[in-house]
């Protein structure tokens, strides 16, 4: 027969004589434990770890805490009271748990308190240490004064209550406190006095009050408002007597009553991404004018309290490192005039880091002046802080990255690898419930054998960032752009965070999902694309990256499908139809950016706010977001941060609700853009397969080459041992690349893919930032050791690697230190083929697109303009260019003073320009490009021939700029006569000086170029190609000397620019 668990306890303690212990109410062995919540479920081992001792539990205000059955505990094994508390003396108290049954605790009543002997708990401590117990405040007794009173004196037990009632003059409403107690059965008098935070209020003493007038003893606002701020402890004390000579009892004081707003709990524990409800209780009613109707009170009598989380908002790895976010709440909480309870939805913030320790966040709530609070009692109210312990969940996505690299090898989030040797636009990644999408472009890179990546488009909400290195998609022969073309449409600064270093790009979604890609060093193809999943991606992704859920059997789910299929059907289902305005992200104006998000039938209208201010502002504002500088409209409990690279941003498709204003019509911040096309013979059904080895390679030689390449790179070993990034699959991919291409051009890109995955994963591990390989403070942290091995091409032996960046030795530049500083930039161009139209731009600066290997670039500008009689003496200016990123710089054009121009009147005074050369060292400059500045309404100029034609006369241009009017005939005749006289004078002067050209009948004379350089052939999309077929981009014409030529015609004046050698 089994003996009940509780009976074992009882027999054990009786047999050991514990009933004969000393008096616990006065014993020095009794310990006091203060709990901060009136009703709570506390772990037994956190209540006390002491044994053989009496414990007294109480609240901070002194009220007793006892075992109870009032709690709703999350644990099904919680311990509840299953008995009645003793009226006096000692009692074995029965408690019960669903898991452990019933057992007994020894309890002693001590003048309104209860002390528990906890040895019976420690007896089975190893079993019960994880069990919670229900504890609650005890309301069955009242606090006594320290003085003695008659044994048969009546028991008056006062309590404080708060009410909302009219002011004494009847002009408004106010909050009052009353001292409540039951009347005595005999006629007596009462003295009532009030305390705030233990301080006796001399202006709130009431003597010889009958019970019928006891409401006259209320504590009103006037008694304390000038000396105390709400969030205090208020208590009352009552003395009962028949006469001054017959005192029935001394003052009996109530327990303290908290007056203000208090959280139900002061500390919460939650996981990242988990949302919990925080209950706030107002123990004092809110006042509202009695003259208002009920509907007006409901609309206008609202009391606002502001929320902020100090010490947060730091930026780590492109995400804000907050503790908590407020769901659907812009950093504030509102009470209606009748409300006594309200709630706040708090979500554990996703920081994108795998935390090795719990994060702690403090939420503060405060008030400033509120116009509806006529009494002013809520001004500056202090509400107890709430502490949140945030536990990590980012570890669930450790190692979850999707990759598409070289020609192209695919890896799903869950680690399944496959090849997608197809050309076209494909959906790589899409979130099912958030507006995040990544598309990739693939085109033929080895004829009939393989495709490569030449474009990435990243969409977040209404914003888009794309990079393209191919002019068109082809299944036969692809032409790549000499300079990568970028498109940036940022409608909201919180949509994306874009960072670049050299050829490396990293784009972060608000969820923390990262997209990183790199343009190859040997070509303009993209060597690798990597998408690192965030916590918000779990179970919510689709596309070629598959479903991230740690289940490899469901990675190949096709578009609109529920079940996985074969690789070919899966890959083909995620193809984007050619030039589809509804689905493509590479068309001119993607409709998807302007449409509401509707990937799934489930609406996602969640919004999160963070409130990282140090304190709220003083002035009252009804709008929480502007008042407390809240960061809202986040679709996930995470947000991007960090410095954004300087880019040319087009917000024309963002709509009127965009935070970012459209660029001014006079802005010089422009770049050229082209439209992606497909070749006429493009074959959507083509799937490439390299079945044979070429160029003398075989499986053995390729494997040896790849194995050696990975073995000898120091990054491979450290990534394998510390970050758990294995090189095995990458070596296999390397062998496949050699088979497809017949050369080793992709090996470095495959290594960079491994390093990129290693870098991304290592930066997510918080422990790597704090721990080192030894206890010495001079030792590097683990993340420093790792990143010191992850530089591209190991800095080519010409630099030091630190934090995955190359710091080049003197004389070398570039992200991999492979370029000599003495070699100037060679591939760059100006927007609009070098034409700056003053009707469209201010022409005070110009962007230059190209490939730049250093942030320090010197621009040499040679100025020229057209004079009537003789060419002006050209002058040169040297200035530092503004580096934007590796393929964009900006040069500010110096102002040209009037003194630098010839004083003779120039017919072509508005046509001028600059020849711009670039240098890294300020000594060796490149060939130049020409910027021509003119008014397109007055002139038509051709940059190929550097010829201009005047379209209208100056007078016509002037009249055109104003309202259309009818000019009198005499005015026209006068103007014609003046022009005719001026022309005759010019002709006479030219003849006398023998400068008038003879025998030239052309109205427009082309430039005579003697530099012998060939031009780049034109193309239908205005791009420059590189390759042996077309040669290198030619420089523009050097600073010329000019010969002005004119043939008299009614409305046509033409100019000839001619080089003089």
- Per-residue pLDDT reduced to its tens digit, 750-801: 999 999 999 999 999 988 887 655 555 567 788 988 999 999 888 999 999 9
Distance CA 795, CA 789 (A): 10
Closest CA to 637 of 149, 275, 909: 275
Q: Where are the beta strands (DSSP E) in 582-711?
A: 608-610, 631-634, 677-678
Closest CA to 328 of 310, 343, 312: 343
Residue 875 CB partners (closer than 8 Å, separation 6+)? 862, 863, 900
Looking at the predicted structure, is the pLDDT value of residue 991 above 80?
A: no
- Name the most confidently modeled range: 9-23, 153-167, 743-757, 896-910: 743-757
Distinct helix (H) and strand (E) counts, the chain: 15, 62
Lowest-pLDDT range of 562-576, 589-603, 878-892:
589-603
Distance CA 290, CA 813 (A): 76
Looking at the predicted structure, is the pLDDT value of residue 1025 above 50?
A: no
Distance CA 68, CA 83 (A): 9
Distance CA 736, CA 753 (A): 15
Kindly state the average pLDDT of the residues 798-822: 93
pLDDT score at 70? 66
pLDDT confidence of 695, banded at 50, 70, 90?
Answer: very high
Dihedral sign from CA coordinates of 581, 584, 585, 591: positive
Looking at the predicted structure, is the pLDDT value of residue 966 above 70?
A: no
pLDDT score at 490? 87
Closest CA to 644 of 501, 486, 493, 497: 497
Residue 152 CB partners (closer than 8 Å, separation 6+)? none
Kindly state the average pLDDT of the residues 455-469: 93
Query: For every residue of 132-198, which 3-state class applies, written as one string?
Result: EEEEEECCCCCCCCCCCCCCCCCCCCCEEEEEEEECCCCCCEEEEEEEECCCCCCCCEEEEEEEECC
**Model confidence pLDDT, tens digit, residues 817-867:** 999 999 999 889 999 889 999 998 889 999 999 989 999 999 999 988 765
pLDDT score at 808? 95
pLDDT score at 599? 41
Cα dihedral 1010, 1016, 1022, 1025, rounded to 10, equals -150
Lowest-pLDDT range of 51-60, 124-133, 445-454:
124-133
Looking at the predicted structure, is the pLDDT value of residue 958 above 90?
A: no
pLDDT score at 315? 81
| 194 within 8 A of 219, measured Cβ to Cβ | yes
Distance CA 620, CA 624 (A): 10
Q: Which carries the bigger pLDDT value, residue 1003 or residue 1013?
A: 1013
The H-or-E segment that residue 204 falls in is strand 199-209
pLDDT confidence of 710, banded at 50, 70, 90?
Answer: very high
pLDDT score at 845? 92
pLDDT confidence of 898, banded at 50, 70, 90?
Answer: low
**Is 658 exposed, middle or buried (CB count within 10 Å of its CB: 0-12, 13-18, 19+)?**
middle
pLDDT score at 245? 65
Looking at the predicted structure, is the pLDDT value of residue 549 above 90?
A: yes
CA distances from 150 to 87, 247, 260, 448, 788 (A): 20, 9, 37, 108, 83
The two tokens of residue 240 are: 């009962």
pLDDT confidence of 347, banded at 50, 70, 90?
Answer: very high
Q: Which carries the bigger pLDDT value, residue 719 or residue 959?
A: 719
pLDDT score at 134? 80
| 36 within 8 A of 266, measured Cβ to Cβ | yes
Q: Which carries the bigger pLDDT value, residue 597 or residue 18?
A: 597
Lowest-pLDDT range of 32-41, 701-710, 784-793:
32-41
pLDDT confidence of 739, banded at 50, 70, 90?
Answer: very high
Other beta carbons within 10 angstroms of residue 202's beta carbon come to 9
Distance CA 667, CA 912 (A): 19
Q: Which carries the bigger pLDDT value, residue 203 or residue 43?
A: 203
Looking at the predicted structure, is the pLDDT value of residue 21 above 70?
A: no
For the chain, how big is the Rg over CA atoms in Å?
41
Looking at the predicted structure, is the pLDDT value of residue 589 above 80?
A: yes
**Model confidence pLDDT, tens digit, residues 381-428:** 888 899 999 999 999 999 999 999 988 899 999 999 999 999 999 999
Distance CA 1060, CA 1055 (A): 16
Distance CA 668, CA 612 (A): 37
The DSSP secondary-structure symbol of 203 reads E
pLDDT score at 970? 32
What is the percent of the chain with per-residue pLDDT over 70, rounded to a whole number? 73
**Model confidence pLDDT, tens digit, residues 62-80:** 677 787 776 766 666 778 8
pLDDT score at 797? 92
Give backbone dihedrals phi and psi of 275, rounded to 5 degrees, phi first: -110, 130
What is the pairing mode between strands 472-473 and 463-470? unpaired
Distance CA 403, CA 409 (A): 8
Looking at the predicted structure, is the pLDDT value of residue 283 above 60?
A: yes
Distance CA 518, CA 754 (A): 12
Lowest-pLDDT range of 301-310, 653-662, 818-827, 942-951:
653-662
The two tokens of residue 635 are: 């679709």
Kindly state the average pLDDT of the residues 264-285: 90
Kindly state the average pLDDT of the residues 39-60: 63
pLDDT score at 16? 42
pLDDT score at 654? 65
Distance CA 759, CA 719 (A): 8
Lowest-pLDDT range of 129-143, 219-233, 738-752, 1029-1043:
1029-1043
Looking at the predicted structure, is the pLDDT value of residue 709 above 50?
A: yes
Task: State in Å, rounded, how far the first CA of the chain is from the last one.
Answer: 119
Closest CA to 177 of 220, 113, 143, 135: 220
Distance CA 176, CA 391 (A): 43
pLDDT score at 1019? 34
Looking at the predicted structure, is the pLDDT value of residue 976 above 90?
A: no
pLDDT confidence of 312, banded at 50, 70, 90?
Answer: confident
Q: Mean pLDDT across the chain, nearest whole number? A: 77
Lowest-pLDDT range of 119-123, 398-402, 502-506, 725-729:
119-123
CA distances from 47 to 24, 43, 231, 268 (A): 18, 6, 27, 17
- Name the most confidently modeled range: 370-379, 693-702, 948-957, 994-1003: 693-702
pLDDT score at 642? 74
pLDDT score at 85? 78
Distance CA 566, CA 556 (A): 7
| 473 within 8 A of 517, measured Cβ to Cβ | no
Kindly state the average pLDDT of the residues 17-32: 63
Let me know how long the chain is. Answer: 1061
Closest CA to 614 of 330, 1049, 311: 311
Lowest-pLDDT range of 118-127, 174-183, 222-231:
118-127
Distance CA 334, CA 588 (A): 46
Distance CA 268, CA 389 (A): 6
Lowest-pLDDT range of 404-408, 612-616, 658-662, 707-711:
658-662
Distance CA 913, CA 901 (A): 13
The gap from C-alpha 523 to its chain's centroid, in whole angstroms, comes to: 33
What is the percent of the chain with per-residue pLDDT over 90, rounded to a whole number? 37
Tokens 């190692």 found at: 399
- The pTM is what? 0.73
């Amino acid at each position: 027969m089994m003996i009940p668990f509780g009976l074992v306890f009882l027999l054990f303690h009786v047999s050991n004589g514990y009933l004969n212990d000393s008096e616990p109410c006065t014993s020095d062995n009794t310990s006091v434990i203060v709990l901060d919540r009136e009703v709570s479920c506390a772990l037994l081992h956190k209540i006390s770890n002491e044994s053989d001792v009496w414990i007294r539990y109480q609240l901070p205000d002194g009220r007793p805490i006892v075992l109870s059955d009032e709690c709703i505990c999350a644990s099904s094994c919680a311990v509840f009271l299953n008995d009645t508390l003793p009226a006096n003396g000692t009692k074995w108290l029965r408690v019960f748990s669903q898991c452990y049954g019933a057992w007994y605790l020894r309890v002693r009543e001590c003048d309104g308190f209860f002390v528990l002997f906890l040895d019976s708990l420690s007896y089975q401590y190893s079993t019960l240490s994880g069990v919670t117990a229900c504890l609650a405040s005890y309301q069955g007794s009242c606090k006594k004064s320290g003085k003695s009173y008659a044994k048969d004196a009546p028991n008056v037990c006062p309590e404080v209550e708060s009410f909302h009632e009219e002011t004494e003059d009847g002009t408004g409403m106010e909050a009052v406190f009353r001292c409540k107690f039951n009347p005595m059965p005999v006629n007596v008098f009462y003295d009532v006095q009030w305390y705030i935070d233990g301080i006796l209020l001399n202006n709130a003493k009431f003597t010889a009050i009958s019970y019928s007038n006891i409401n006259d003893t209320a504590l009103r606002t006037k008694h304390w408002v000038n000396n105390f701020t709400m969030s205090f402890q208020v208590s009352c004390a009552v003395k009962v007597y028949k006469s001054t000579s017959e005192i029935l009892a001394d003052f009996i004081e109530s327990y303290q009553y908290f007056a203000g707003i208090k959280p139900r709990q002061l500390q919460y524990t939650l996981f990242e991404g988990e949302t919990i409800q925080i209950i706030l209780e107002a123990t004092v009613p809110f006042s509202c004018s009695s003259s208002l109707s009920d509907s007006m009170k409901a609309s206008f009598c609202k009391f606002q309290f502001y929320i902020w989380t100090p010490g947060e908002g730091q930026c780590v790895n492109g995400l804000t490192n907050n503790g908590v976010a407020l769901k659907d709440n812009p950093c504030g909480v509102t009470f209606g005039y009748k409300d006594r309870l309200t709630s706040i939805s708090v979500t554990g913030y996703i920081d994108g880091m795998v935390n090795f320790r719990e994060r702690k966040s403090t939420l503060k709530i405060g008030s400033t002046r509120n116009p509806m609070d006529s009494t002013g009692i809520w001004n500056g109210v202090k509400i107890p802080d709430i502490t949140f312990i945030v536990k990590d969940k980012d570890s669930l996505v450790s190692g979850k990255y999707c990759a598409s690299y070289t020609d192209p090898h695919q890896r799903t989030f869950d680690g399944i690898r496959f090849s997608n040797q197809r050309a076209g636009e494909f959906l790589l990644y899409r979130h099912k419930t958030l507006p995040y999408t990544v598309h990739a472009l693939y085109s033929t890179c080895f004829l009939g054998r393989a495709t490569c990546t030449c474009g990435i488009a990243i969409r977040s909400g209404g914003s888009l960032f794309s990079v393209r290195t191919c002019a068109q998609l082809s299944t036969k022969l692809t032409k790549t752009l000499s300079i990568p073309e970028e498109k940036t449409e940022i409608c909201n600064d919180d949509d994306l965070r874009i960072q670049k270093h050299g050829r490396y790009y990293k784009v972060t979604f608000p969820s923390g999902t990262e997209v990183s890609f790199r343009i190859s060093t040997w070509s303009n193809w993209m060597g690798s694309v990597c998408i690192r999943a965030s916590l918000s991606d779990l179970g919510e992704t689709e596309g070629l990256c598959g479903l991230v859920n740690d289940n490899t059997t469901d990675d190949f789910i096709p578009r609109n499908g529920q079940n996985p299929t074969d690789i070919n059907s899966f890959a083909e289902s995620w193809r984007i139809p050619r030039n589809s305005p509804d689905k493509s992200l590479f068309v001119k104006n993607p409709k998807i950016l302007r449409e509401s998000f509707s990937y799934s039938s489930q609406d996602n209208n969640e919004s999160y706010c963070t409130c990282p201010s140090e304190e709220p502002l003083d002035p009252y504002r009804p709008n929480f977001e502007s008042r407390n500088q809240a960061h809202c409209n986040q679709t996930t409990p995470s947000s991007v941060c960090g410095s954004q690279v300087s880019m040319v941003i087009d917000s024309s498709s963002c709509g009127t609700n965009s935070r970012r204003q459209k660029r001014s019509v006079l802005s010089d911040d422009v770049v050229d853009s082209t439209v992606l096309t497909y070749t006429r013979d493009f074959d959507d059904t083509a799937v490439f397969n390299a079945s044979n080895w070429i160029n003398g390679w075989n499986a053995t030689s390729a494997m040896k080459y790849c194995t050696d390449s990975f073995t000898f790179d120091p990054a491979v070993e450290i990534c394998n041992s510390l970050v758990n990034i294995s090189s095995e699959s990458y070596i296999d991919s390397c062998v496949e690349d050699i088979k497809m291409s017949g050369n080793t051009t992709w090996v470095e890109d495959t290594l960079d893919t491994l390093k990129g995955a290693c870098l991304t994963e290592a930066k997510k591990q918080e422990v790597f930032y704090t721990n080192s390989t030894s206890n010495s403070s001079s030792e590097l942290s683990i993340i420093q050791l790792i990143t010191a091995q992850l530089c591209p091409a190991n800095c080519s032996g010409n630099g030091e690697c630190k934090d995955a960046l190359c710091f080049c030795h003197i004389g070398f530049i570039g992200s991999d230190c492979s370029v000599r500083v003495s070699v100037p930039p060679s591939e760059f161009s100006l927007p609009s083929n070098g034409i700056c139209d003053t009707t469209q731009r201010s022409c005070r600066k110009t962007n230059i697109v190209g490939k730049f290997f250093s942030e320090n670039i010197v621009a040499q500008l040679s100025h020229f303009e057209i004079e009537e009689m003789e060419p002006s003496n050209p002058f040169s200016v040297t200035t530092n260019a503004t580096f934007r990123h590796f393929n964009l710089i900006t040069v500010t054009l110096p102002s040209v003073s009037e003194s630098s121009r010839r004083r003779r009147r120039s017919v072509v005074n508005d046509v001028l320009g600059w020849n711009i050369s670039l240098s890294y060292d300020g000594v060796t400059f490149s060939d130049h490009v020409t910027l021509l500045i003119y008014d397109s309404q007055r002139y038509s100029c051709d940059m190929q021939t550097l010829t201009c034609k005047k379209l209208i006369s100056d007078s016509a241009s002037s009249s055109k700029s104003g309202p259309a009017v009818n000019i009198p005939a005499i005015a026209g005749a006068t103007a014609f006569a003046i022009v005719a006289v001026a022309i005759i004078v010019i002709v006479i002067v030219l003849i006398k000086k023998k400068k008038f050209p003879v025998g030239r009948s052309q109205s427009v004379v082309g430039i005579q170029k003697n530099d012998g350089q060939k031009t780049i052939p034109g193309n239908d999309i205005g791009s420059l190609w590189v390759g042996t077929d077309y040669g290198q981009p030619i420089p523009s014409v050097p600073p010329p000397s000019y010969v002005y030529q004119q043939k008299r015609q009614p409305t046509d004046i033409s100019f000839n620019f001619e080089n003089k050698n």
